[in-house]
Amino acid sequence: MEQAKQYIRETSAGLFHEIREIRRHFHRHPELSCEEYDTAAFISRKFEEYGIPHVTGIAGTGITGLIRGKDPESRCVGLRADMDALPIEEVSTKDYRSLHPGKMHACGHDVHMACLLGAAKILTGLRERFSGTVKLIFQPSEETYPGGAIQMIEAGILENPEPEVIIAQHVINNLEAGDIGFRPGAYMASTDEFFITVKGKGGHAATPAQVIDPILIASHIVVALQQIVSRNADPVIPSVVSVGKIIGEGRTNILPDEVKMEGTVRTYNESWRKEIHRKIEKIATAIAEGMGATCEVRIAHGYPALVNDPGVTGQLQRWAEDYLGKDHVRQLEPRMTAEDFSYFAQRLPACLYRLGITAASTGINSNLHTNTFDVDEQSLITGMGILSWFAFQFLNPDKDPVK
C-alpha cells in the first residue's frame, strides 16, 4: 500500500506539466452545455493514447472509459467529471485565456476533466495492482437544465458494470491549493426556477384609476414571496426564495399590460421544496386576483439536493488524511449552490468533495462563476493524485467494502 501511495504521489508530480497543458487546452477552448463536441473528441483521443476502451456520444456528448484491473467483474468505482463551460466573457491576460468570445471555464470544469485524465493515466499504470474496474465518466451539461447527469443515467451509464460508489471532485476558491474538503450528509441545495407573469391593464400613468397596474401588483408579490422563508420555513431548514429578474415594458408615463418575473428556489428538504412551490403559486395568484389582475405561474423543477453518503464520505476523508495529512483535509459548510451530481447520489452511495485552488500569494482567489476566475495550477497535482488514491483504495483487494 505504501508503495502504491508513493507511486501515485511521484507520478502525479511527474505528470504535472502534461496535465497542466491539458487543462489549459480545455480552458482555451470552452464549450457550452450540450455543445461539448470538441471537448469530447479531445478526451477520446487521450483515452486512445492511454489504451483505455471507451464509449462516446452518451447523452449527446458524454463519454465513459473503463480501466480494468485484476478480476474486473468483482467491484467497480465511478469517477465523474463535468465538461461544460459558462456564457461568461473572460477578463484575463493569461496566454491560456478563452479563445471563444462569451464563453469561459469559470467553474473549474477544465480542472475536473484534466484531473480525471491524469488519474486515468496513473490508474492505468496500477491496474495490475488492484481488483475491479474504474469507470471514468465525463458528463456534459452540468450547468444547464435538465442536466447531463440524469440524461447519462437514463442512457445506462450506471450499468455494465454498475459502480458500488461514485465520486466527484469540484474546485472551490475558499480552500488553498493542496487542501481538500468534505461534508457528509446534505451539502448542496436543490434548485428550481419560477416564472410569473402578471397580466393587468396598461394605460397612462397619470390615470391610475383607469388601469390595473401590473408593476404595483408584481411589487406586492415580490415582497410577499419573501415571507415564505421568513414566516413559513422551519428555521433549521436552509431555504432561499429570490426574485432575480423583473421586466415591465413601460415608460415614465406608461404603465404596461403585463410584468414578467423570474426567480430561484433553494432548499435541502424535498417535502418543504414541494410546499414552497405550492405557496409561490398560491401567493402570486391570490395577490394578482385580489388586485384585479390575473397571474400565470410556471415552476421549472431543477436538481435535487446533493446528499453525500456519510459512510463513503467518512472513508474518503480518512484516506485523504492518510494521503495528504490531516492538516490538508478540511470540513466544509453547507452551500446553497446546486449540482446535478445529486442525481448520481440518489442512486448510489456517493461523495462530492472540494479541491482547493486558491493561492493567496499570487492573488488567485476569484469566486466561481466570475469573469476573473482562475486556479493555482499546482492544485492539479493534488486533484489527480487524490482521485487515483481513492479509486485504488476502494479497489484494493485487501480492503473490506466501504460501509
Ramachandran area for residue 20 (φ above 0: left; ψ -120 to 50: alpha; else beta): alpha
- Please classify residue 369 by burial: count the beta carbons closer than 10 Å to its beta carbon, then call 0-12 exposed, 13-18 middle and 19+ buried: middle
Q: Distance of CA 214 to CAs 173, 228, 253, 254, 282, Å?
A: 41, 21, 14, 12, 17
How far is residue 363's CA from residue 361's CA, in Å, rounded to a whole number? 6
Q: Distance of CA 1 to CAs 46, 127, 129, 284, 397, Å?
A: 28, 14, 10, 61, 11
Residue 98 neighbours by CB distance under 10 Å: 22
Q: Which residues are catalytically annotated? A: 84, 142
Q: Tell the residue number behind the cell numbers 468483482, with chain if given.
A: 74
- Please classify residue 400 by burial: count the beta carbons closer than 10 Å to its beta carbon, then call 0-12 exposed, 13-18 middle and 19+ buried: exposed
Ramachandran area for residue 320 (φ above 0: left; ψ -120 to 50: alpha; else beta): alpha
CA neighbor of 90 nearest in space, from 111, 106, 107: 106
